[in-house]
Amino acid sequence: MGISFKEVSHLYPTSKKKVYTVALNKINFNINGTGEFIALVGKTGSGKSTLMEHMNALLLPTSGTVQIFDKTITPKKNKNPKLKEVRKKVGFVFQFPEYQLFEETVIKDIMFAAKNFGLKEEDAKQRALDTAKLLRIDEEVLKKSPFNLSGGQMRKVAIAGILAYDPDILLLDEPTRGLDPKTQKDIMELFYEIHRVTQKTIIMISHDMDLVYKYANRVVVLNEGNIVFDGDKVDLFASKIYEENHLEKPEVLQMVDYLNDTLGLNLTYHLFDEEELLNQVVKKYE
């Protein structure tokens, strides 16, 4: 088991004395250490970000426990393990991670976290070079200041800095937010390739149901601090749960519905992008 939530609640204080906002309500939830690509979805304020921030102990539970590999996180700060050890296992790609770049060159920025987690200079540099190659960051770019790059390049560099210390699980908070459509596709294809090749578990928060439907193999829906669905994406959008939780139906499924209703094609929901849909429609008419 990679991460396990047991009866986890999280309360935020309000301006009123002894009045709290319940962000998570007695959550029980397990994540495998390998092989999963999970999407956390739900309307704003549903608890997605709070849940994710417990996955590498950025937040401590108000009650309950979070097991992160062999480390148990409890509400008692002084009883918890060294959080640096936890965060080496679980890497967090924040929204707009490029805002965290600060070194004078790209290569130094990619090396920074790996060195911080104990790698020697030479090993950190080699890990940075290998990661840059994986992300198709040119060697010439490595010599530049990160602040002279495009927005898409900066995000790739920020992601490389996390991958370079080789966490077992990757947390992605709205990884494509603010990017143009081509860069969005490039970033998501990159993460999916990492998942496919390494079998690293990836957990992603996204409001983009097209991305969720194409890439995730498990979807978790939150509403008012509760998990109201945890399962297969096809089952989610074949039910009324997505509507009840104010989620948009993916465009490919909207097209499937239209073609089934107007042409009686009887297509299934096991089609995850437009290319797959087109191939199925062609087969129907062969």
> What secondary structure does DSSP assign to 190-210, as a single string?
HHHHHHHHH-BEEEEE-S-HH
Mean pLDDT over 214-237 rounds to 97
| Residue 84, burial from CB neighbour count under 10 angstroms (0-12, 13-18, 19+) | exposed
Residue 66 neighbours by CB under 8 Å, 6+ apart: 3, 4, 5, 6, 8, 54, 55, 57, 72, 73
Q: Band of the pLDDT at 179, cuts 50, 70, 90? A: confident
What global pTM score does this model have? 0.92
What pLDDT is attached to residue 155? 87
Instruction: Take residue 154 and report the two structure tokens written for it.
Output: 């900066």
Give the Cβ contact number of residue 271 at 10 Å. 21
What pLDDT is attached to residue 101? 86
pLDDT digit string (tens) for 241-285?
Answer: 999 999 999 999 999 999 999 999 999 999 999 999 999 998 888
What pLDDT is attached to residue 77? 82
Average pLDDT, the chain: 93
pLDDT at 151 exceeding the cut of 90:
no
Q: Band of the pLDDT at 100, cuts 50, 70, 90? A: confident
Strands, sheet with 20-31, edge to edge from the N-terminal-most edge strand: 20-31, 3-13, 63-68, 71-73
